[in-house]
Chain A
């Protein structure tokens, strides 16, 4: 098997920022006084058939909207406005359709298992987003959903990369979706995941409280084995490291991963870090930078979208936009800005257990 070139040819991102308008690349970022960030409604009604709209869970709306924006961006539309069906749909989600899950669970407990209707149960399965997108696009191709915490979106990317390399298909719609609900926020607050008091999200890295700010989002990329005038970047590869025993182990794996793509640490022009404002969890980012990327330009993003399991899909949107525009938006910058951006590495970890790296290059 030879590795093919795989290009990111379309983006669709529903997030707490104005990310659905590609002409507006974080020029006026939103900052809030909060410890949880929710997505902006980019006009879901435009993207979802009205007969389905009312009963559909929010994460499904977010996912369909991001997927359709991504296909439009990739020019996968017919003259009549209908969409071309992708060869495959692959999604990742940490908790899936948690709002519908909670709805069914709450009704079941409250009504002591009586008078239950199936709608929220039907929509509670994790593959609902991928299934609904396929249904709307009439896509009979490969359809997978990965549900592994901080590896969910990464696994989806790897699955698509593998199959494009095997020539099982030539393109794929790949996304990460997670929604935040009041109950899931309250429950995970018990584990100390979130800052107790609201902060100005702009000051995420300055705040001394334990925990981060919760977030959510739905972000899709359209991958293809050919490049065109709209190409954002070449997707080189994904690395996942489970529970590394030390920063040494991590740095060795990153070096080997870069070497596999004929690169070294010095070739990384921008490293996007998943810093989330929890000093305990952020330590490992600083250690890796200290070890391998001392002179590299650095960026961060969780003050824009919050922390969630598939947040790397937001990061990949950001990296792709930076690559295409060759501009690092001011709020993302942590230090100096490189002259030219040829290679961007995203490093994110979820709860210091699931560490992942995504590498993209100038097409």
Chain B
């Protein structure tokens, strides 16, 4: 029999708030976190709308309880804040002696320091302590060091599906008996580098994004971090934690269609969702809610929408994209949205797809427009798709009979 994967802790920081409670409060008040850029020096400052965590680097040092004289990237600080919350929530420290790993995800990594110091890196020694802060592994090793994780650690980068893939690997490491407890998730800080990259791709919307709307015009980028603590059944017996819910299914597939665009029929998305359902032996009708990738680009929403119609036929579950709340947090999106999906089960709510007005011509469904209360949700699906056609779907279910 395959191992069950219990979620026993969550931690999140986003433009909606610095911790789980603040994020929940913003979501319940249906207040978007999008706004103008305040903390990144860029000529796009007044042009773009983003989901920025409202602190400068010093503010994040404070939140993370770290000495600001040390070399940290914005990314690592976001990661530490969220991972520490999840770690405390699952009472990891009080329950030693359980084989624990850390699987984190990021893509832009410590690029914020490169934005500022690249010229110094090339010409003088004044910023040498920031050189090692650049790569993707830096934030993971810093989190591991602060949380004193000595077991398996690694970092995944598959663009915007990265954090979902970290959760998937974490679940598999428990199933195969490599680990009993895993802290998994992702972090991504806004940088001048990827703001300009997405801007050059001409897929950023200058007004609030409108996923699944006929007049959608692109993405608002966001930043943040989110981590979940996964425990095996035997770890759960030791910790005595009350599981929040279970990670029941996961699937990853590659579109093999185009480096950045999704295929018109959403073959990758369809395969990922199918694999996730197959893995937990569920039928499409078991899904009560889909937290869609729904970026607000022409291409993604049509492609994802078609894949969903192919899989679910005429009985499409309640669906929404929460990116109008948080912005597209790229490598962190998978774990941020995993937590938002889990909150739906816990709080018996469905988050609205803000800014939606008119359905897409080619599609036959509309997302949820206003907050739904008293929703009885047992199983929810969360989608994350990335550059390179890297598509991942996760399924969370309410825990019954432990």
Which A residues contact B (CB, under 8 angstroms)? 1, 89, 94-96, 104-106, 108-109, 112-114, 116-118, 121-128, 130-132, 134-135, 137-149, 151-152, 155, 159, 162-163, 165-166, 183, 186-188, 190-191, 240, 242-243, 353
Contacts and interface: CB of A to CB of B under 8 A. Distances in A.
Contact of A108 (B122, B193, B198): B193
Contacts of B175: 1, 166
Contacts of A109: 118-119
Contact of A113 (B44, B172, B259, B388): B44
B137 A113 contact: no
Nearest to A94: B135
Contact of A127 (B128, B169, B172, B387): B387
Contacts of B169: 144, 159
A95 B176 CA distance: 29
Interface string B123-141: 0010010011001110011
B92 interface: no
Nearest to B42: A113
Contacts of A240: 152-154
Interface stretch (B50-58, B248-256, B283-291): B248-256
Interface string B253-295: 1111111100000011001000000000000000000000000
Contacts of B388: 125, 127-128, 130-132, 134, 143
A130 B387 CA distance: 11
B157 A127 contact: yes
Contact of A137 (B136, B176, B193, B256): B256
Contacts, number: 177
Contact of B387 (A106, A125, A144, A191): A125
8 contacts: A89-B254, A116-B199, A121-B194, A122-B387, A126-B107, A145-B156, A191-B128, A191-B132
Contacts of A94: 135, 137
Report the contact-size class of chain B (Cβ under 8 Å from the partner): 35 or more
A151 to B, nearest CB: 6
B144 interface: yes
A141 B136 contact: no
Nearest to B105: A147
B93 interface: no
A263 to B, nearest CB: 19
Contacts of B152: 240
Contact of B178 (A128, A139, A162): A162
Interface in B186-205: 192-194, 196-202
B43 interface: yes
The interface residues of chain A, by DSSP majority, are classed as mixed
Q: Which of B257, B271, B388 has the most CB of A within 10 A?
A: B388
Contacts of B193: 104-105, 108
Contacts of B11: none
A127 B390 contact: yes
A113 B43 contact: yes
A162 B389 CA distance: 23
B121 interface: yes
A137 B299 CA distance: 23
B165 interface: yes
B64 interface: no
A149 B387 CA distance: 22
B155 interface: yes
B386 interface: yes
Contacts of A128: 259, 387-388
A96 B159 CA distance: 12
A159 B173 CA distance: 9
A71 to B, nearest CB: 15
A135 B153 contact: no
Given A113-B43, A187-B122, A135 B158 contact: no
B339 interface: no
